[in-house]
Amino acid sequence: MTINYQYKNVQSPTKITLSDEQTAGHADHWRILTDDMSHDVPEWLQQMIEKAALPKGLNANVSTQDNCLLLSEDQPCHINQVLAMKDGKPECFINAYPCINGPYGLTCTIERMIVNDNSHDAVLRLRSDDGSIIYAFDQLYTANRHLYQQNTPYFVNFSAWAHEFTLSQQDEVIMVEDKEAIRYHRAFNDIVAANDGQVPDDIQEQIQNWQPKTEEQMAPVEINLGHMCAYLFGDTLGQEDEAWCQGQVLGKQETSFNGKSILLFDVVILREQNATPFVVRIGVVNTTETQAIQVNDYIQANIWLQAAIYKENQNSESSNQQSQAS
């Protein structure tokens, strides 16, 4: 009898390792939710143990016999807690951080991981299908750390906590006076409008042939910067998940986190032509100012961007979630 073996060279994404001194930790993230961390956080961690769940991520065989265990909760806003295990029992506490479940996402590949192996903190550098670079904290690194592969597309769910969340500056405008730029802008809008809102395949050729019909069509164009979608990741190694964004609110709902009222805003922060919109569910503490923000408003925010990769979401239906939301 002949036995044939097929060898597969499976490689993990590039990994950059940080020391404890290089890792920022989660104090600033807990401060979003409480002014008394020394009292509230230990109490919350104790309470979650009573109703903790084991998130699987990409791993279908989560076991308490693993040397590290990730605990979570089945709540929109929850805590993830990492414990070191020995003989199936918790040996010591490793890490904990507040999380938000994000129902929207993008298909991305993991270009590299920036990791502290002691704390299990990991920031993923992700490239979306349209080429956008996104950095996000990995909620499920403990469960997924041995399973990620190079050049493999994953559907990634995104969410965030907001350090600051306000209406965008509506008075920030620029005036475009360059004749060629004005011509391109007017031509593009005219052609798309005449094509029932769709961008034709020969758009560039049609723009070249377009001619204004009135003098008003070549008047300067005023662009309101407060009505733009934008995302800028952090520039410090290991803290690229601390981002600034501006975008439009698509949805709003209220939930709670350990008795605190939390508002969940679904915000589109990137909306490029021929690309799936980048929608993030952002959690903010319910205040008079945040409560006043409504659907269709444009906001700007400083956020802690999070990512979660689940096995059950790795199918074509999941990749349609975000386009449906937008």
pLDDT digits (tens, 9 = 90+) for 218-232: 888 777 888 999 999
- φ, ψ for residue 323 (rounded to 5)? -65, -35
Q: Are 231 and 278 in contact (CB under 8 A)?
A: yes
At residue 64, the pLDDT reads 64
Answer whether residue 21 shows pLDDT above 60. yes
> Residue 272 to residues 106, 245, 261: CA-CA distances in angstroms?
13, 15, 33
Of 42, 280, 44, residue with least CA distance to 161:
280
At residue 308, the pLDDT reads 98
At residue 326, the pLDDT reads 38
At residue 179, the pLDDT reads 85
Confidence of residue 173 (pLDDT cuts 50, 70, 90): confident
Secondary structure class of 315 (helix, strand, coil): coil
Of 118, 155, 160, 188, residue with least CA distance to 281:
160
Question: Which DSSP category does 287 fall into?
Answer: -
Answer whether residue 319 shows pLDDT above 60. no
Is residue 214 exposed (0-12), middle (13-18) or buried (19+ Cβ within 10 Å)? exposed
Answer whether residue 216 shows pLDDT above 90. no
At residue 8, the pLDDT reads 55
Question: Mean pLDDT score of the chain, rounded to an integer?
Answer: 90
Answer whether residue 52 shows pLDDT above 80. yes
Confidence of residue 324 (pLDDT cuts 50, 70, 90): very low
Q: How far is CA 262 from the centre of its chain?
A: 18
Question: Which DSSP category does 318 fall into?
Answer: G
